[in-house]
Structure 1
Amino acid sequence: MTEQRIGIIDIGSNSIRLVIYERTGNGAHRVIDGSKRAARLSEQIDEQGNIPVLAVRELVDTLNHFRLICAHHRTALIRAVATAAIRNAGNRKEVLLQIESDTSLRIELLSGEEEAGYGFLGMINSMDVKDGFLIDIGGGSTEVSLFRDRSLVQSVSFPFGSVSLTRRFGSKGLLEGDELRELEAYVQETAAREPWIGESPGLPLIGVGGTVRALGKIHQAKLKYTFQSNHNYPIPGQDVNGLFDQLRKLPLNKRRQVPGLSKDRLDIIVPGIAILRVLYSMMQAEHYIVCGSGLRDGLFFATRFPEQPRLDDVLSYSVNNLAALHPEVPRQHVTHVNQTALLLFDQLQHHHPFPDRARLWVDTASILFRIGTSIDYNDYTKHTFYLMINSHIYGLSHRETLLCSAIASYKSKNRAKQLASVYKPLLDEADVALIGMLGTLLQLAVALDRSETQSIGRLEIEVSDGKLVLQAVRAEGSLAVERQEVSALAGEFKKVWGLTPVLLPPAYR
């Protein structure tokens, strides 16, 4: 399979973004480049509702710059879409013709429903969530969707966003009492035309786009959050209210000092959160969740997999994609270790109660435990941990990502304790014990194929008299290397499990 690259350009109301995706020769997908330019197109629309000539020229310059980046990467396909700012402009036809003439790019003008659909696809392919609301607050529009059983049920695009409402109600990004009440009344009155928004209380409100991501970064900075990821990050409703009150009172020069808030959102962050709060209240939502994926990711999946763009199993796809990004890893060995680790878990879970998703964690860790060798074989476990916590393993919470990474890179209980101390309060003492048990289980699975020859064809497991008896029913050779490795691990395994693993000589029956 040859390398293939797709460029996605999103002409939004607040910014213009490029992302280049690559399919590697090993079948994995990754982002290899990206760029962002501020636009504020909604802010530049004149009194007649048109986008002025100067703004179009600047847009053309940006798109031609993006085309050069795509050409540098030999991008085979560029898909460029425009959303609310151009969609709502009175001179949209002229603007699109001018852009296409000066850039040779065909621009897809997305409807509000299409924009919501691609945003939903990007979100649902990056999160293990069954039911909820989705919101995307852009510069000139806000898309709201309801999904059930991972399928889109309702969606609507409202003709307001953080930039347009800042222009209409805000005075240099500030919302005084009367202005805030007018903004909230306008949003509520407009949204009330869609009664389904208030008919599914108790669901999470998942947010994509710049407003919600900025909110997540501010919240994490305030808490001194120890995990460096914004995706799949939950925020309680009362915390959002507190941050909103804090930000609203600050003049722009003071907002610059707020950790986590970028300078290009200083004036639009408060109106953006105001929109969010009104809709959250109308939905009677349970809590907020920040989603790092969205429209561009949805466009990628729809372009790359047009027959079936929605993933059935987000975690499995994500883990296998990450594994495929590291082709240096001995695939047959890893597959054998994965099967053995799950077999051991299935046998031993009868002797110890584990959390419901523990088997998923063992599965994930045993597929990815060797990816660190792509950096350096020596001390590869350290590199595995780093790669796992800094990669997109979708379908896991932050705590689960840390657990899987610690299990995959497990060396000792002391090291697990050190990790837990770094990532408090996400990991606690109970997690250290869990990491120790599942980490040593994975180490045992590795020891059982230490020669990396998959010599054990079938393994029978029995717990008897304080021993974990491992009987290779079908095997090639004497398994001397594997028996030596199991013996070396036996002391550590017994400390954690209270069982001494013993690999018997091969039996043939």
Structure 2
Amino acid sequence: MEQQRMGIIDIGSNSIRLVIYERTPQGAYRVIDGSKQAGRLSEQIDGDGKLNEAAVDRLVGTLHRFRLLCFLHKTDRIRAVATAAIRNAANREHVLQRLAKETGLMVEPLSGKEEAAYGFLGMINTMEVRDGFLIDIGGGSTELSLFRGRELIRSVSFPFGAVNSSRRYAEKGNLDDKSLSELESVLRNAIEAEPWIREAAGLPLVGIGGTVRTLARMHQAQIKYPLPQTHNYVMRPEDTEALFASLRGLPLEKRKKTPGLSKDRADLIVPGIAILRTFFRTCRADRYLICGAGLRDGLFFDLALPSGGRLDDPLDYSIANIGALYPDAPQPHVDQVNRLAAALYDELAPRYPLGGEAACWLNVASRLFRIGAGIDYYQYAKHTFYLMVNSHLNGLSHRGILISAAVASYKNRSGARQLHHAYKPIMDDDDLEAVYRLGTLLQLAVALDRSESQPFEGLEADIRSNKLLLRPIGQNGPMTMERSEVDALADDFRKVWGLTPVLENGR
């Protein structure tokens, strides 16, 4: 498979962004470069509704720099899109013609529904959530969608966002009681024209875009959250309300010092959250769910994947992608360990139930346990944990990511306790017991292919007295190394499971 690279340029109403994606020869996708330029295009609209020429001049310069980056990275294709500020500008055609003539880029002005659809695609391919509302608060517009059974049902684009709302209601980013009341009244009146918004109470409000990611980062900094990842982060409505009240009470210069809040968003965050909380209340949502993906990811999936870019299983896709990014581990060995771990779990789970997600955690761990060897074989467990926690394991909660990574990197109970202590606000005591059991089970599966030669095709496991009898099926090679490794592991396995594993002769 040939290496391919593509650039995605998103000309937003607040920021202009470039992301360069690469498909590796192994078929994995990853981001290899990116750039961001503050544009504030929604602030550059004059009284006639036109984007002023000075703003277009700056935009041309930004796109020239982005094109140079794409050229240096030898991208095969560049896709550039524009959202609300250009889409709604009275001189839209003039702006697009200037951009085409002076940069060589044919910029696509996305409609509100197209923007919502691409945002939904980016979200649904990176999260395991079936039903909910999706909100994207941009600089000049807000898109709201309803999805059921992972299918987009309705969507609407409203002509207000963090930048134009700040310009109209929040002088220097400060939103007083009168201005807040006026903004909320405008929002509610616009929402009233879409009665379907009130007809699906009790769903999560999934947020994409800079406002919700910033909200999550601020909350994580406030509570000293140990996992610096906003994707799939859950927030309660009372936490959002408390942060909103705190930020409103700060003058702009003090607000800029808030941990988790970038200075270039300090004047936008209060009106942005005001929009977010109004929609939350109107939708009668039950929680906030932050998504780290969005429009650019949706555009990427639309270009890179067949069948409209939809994934049936985001977790399976991301596991395969991570494995392909770190291809040093011998795949036949990894596949064998994965099969053996599943067979062992099927035998032990009925007697030692670990909860509905345990099989998923073990599957993830047994497919990725060797990725750290690409950094250093002798300490691959430590590197595996780091890579799993800091990669895009989409479809798992933060708790699920940590447990899966702890199982994949398991060496002993002492090491597991140290990880549990470091991440205790996310992992509870029952999770530590699951890591013990699944970690030693994975160790046993690895031991059963210690030679990495797959000396047998299948496995039968049977519990008798205090022994776990292991009978290989379809033996096609010597099992000397496997038997020695199982014997060496027996004591640790017995301490966790109360069973001594015994590798019998194959048949």
Q: TM-score range by the shorter chain?
A: over 0.9
Task: Measure how far apart 1:306 and its partner are.
Answer: 4.4
Task: Measure how far apart 1:191 and its partner are.
Answer: 1.2
Task: Measure how far apart 1:428 and its partner are.
Answer: 2.4
1:9 and 2:9 are equivalent in the alignment: yes
Task: Measure how far apart 1:304 and its partner are.
Answer: 1.2
* Structure 2 portions without partners, runs of 5+: none
Contact kept in structure 2, 1:42 and 1:85, CA below 8 Å: yes
Task: Measure how far apart 1:308 and its partner are.
Answer: 3.5
Q: Which residue of 2 aligns with 1:376?
A: 376
Q: Which residue of 1 aligns with 2:353?
A: 353
Q: Which residue of 1 aligns with 2:464?
A: 464
Q: Which residue of 2 aligns with 1:320?
A: 320
| Cα shift readout 1:82-130 (whole Å, capped 9, x = no counterpart) | 0000011110100000001000001001000000000000000000000
Mapping of residues 10-29 of structure 1, within 5 Å: 10-29=10-29
1:65 and 2:56 are equivalent in the alignment: no
Size of the aligned set, in residue pairs, is: 507
Mapping of residues 305-454 of structure 1, within 5 Å: 305-454=305-454
> Partner letter of residue 260 of structure 2?
G
Query: d(CA) in 1 for partners of 2:233 and 2:393?
Result: 14
Three-state SS of the structure 1 residue aligned to 2:143 is strand
> Partner letter of residue 183 of structure 1?
L
Query: d(CA) in 1 for partners of 2:398 and 2:185?
Result: 36
> Partner letter of residue 202 of structure 2?
G
> Which segment drifts farther, 252-261 or 363-372?
252-261
Query: d(CA) in 2 for partners of 1:430 and 1:497?
Result: 15
Query: d(CA) in 1 for partners of 2:424 and 2:99?
Result: 51
> Partner letter of residue 177 of structure 1?
D
Task: Measure how far apart 1:473 and its partner are.
Answer: 2.8
Contact kept in structure 2, 1:8 and 1:300, CA below 8 Å: yes
Mapping of residues 216-255 of structure 1, within 5 Å: 216-255=216-255
Contact kept in structure 2, 1:478 and 1:505, CA below 8 Å: no
Could you say if the C-alpha distance between residues 26 and 289 of structure 1 is closer, same or farther in structure 2, counting changes exceeding 3 Å?
Answer: same
Mapping of residues 43-442 of structure 1, within 5 Å: 43-442=43-442
Query: d(CA) in 1 for partners of 2:157 and 2:353?
Result: 47
| Cα shift readout 1:281-340 (whole Å, capped 9, x = no counterpart) | 100000101100000000000111242411100100011110011111111100000000
- Normalised by the length of structure 1, the TM-score is 0.99
Contact kept in structure 1, 2:455 and 2:478, CA below 8 Å: no
| Cα shift readout 1:403-430 (whole Å, capped 9, x = no counterpart) | 0000000000110000011112111222
Contact kept in structure 2, 1:2 and 1:24, CA below 8 Å: yes
Three-state SS of the structure 2 residue aligned to 1:46 is coil
Let me know the Cα RMSD of the aligned residues: 0.7
Q: Which residue of 2 aligns with 1:503?
A: 503
Determine what percentage of the aligned residue pairs are the same residue. Answer: 57
| Cα shift readout 1:415-456 (whole Å, capped 9, x = no counterpart) | 000001111211122211110100000000000000000001
Task: Measure how far apart 1:6 and its partner are.
Answer: 1.0
Task: Measure how far apart 1:478 and its partner are.
Answer: 3.2
Query: d(CA) in 1 for partners of 2:433 and 2:205?
Result: 34
Three-state SS of the structure 2 residue aligned to 1:438 is helix
Query: d(CA) in 2 for partners of 1:210 and 1:457?
Result: 50
Query: d(CA) in 2 for partners of 1:492 and 1:441?
Result: 10
Three-state SS of the structure 1 residue aligned to 2:474 is strand
- Normalised by the length of structure 2, the TM-score is 0.99
Query: d(CA) in 2 for partners of 1:77 and 1:7?
Result: 6
> Partner letter of residue 447 of structure 1?
A
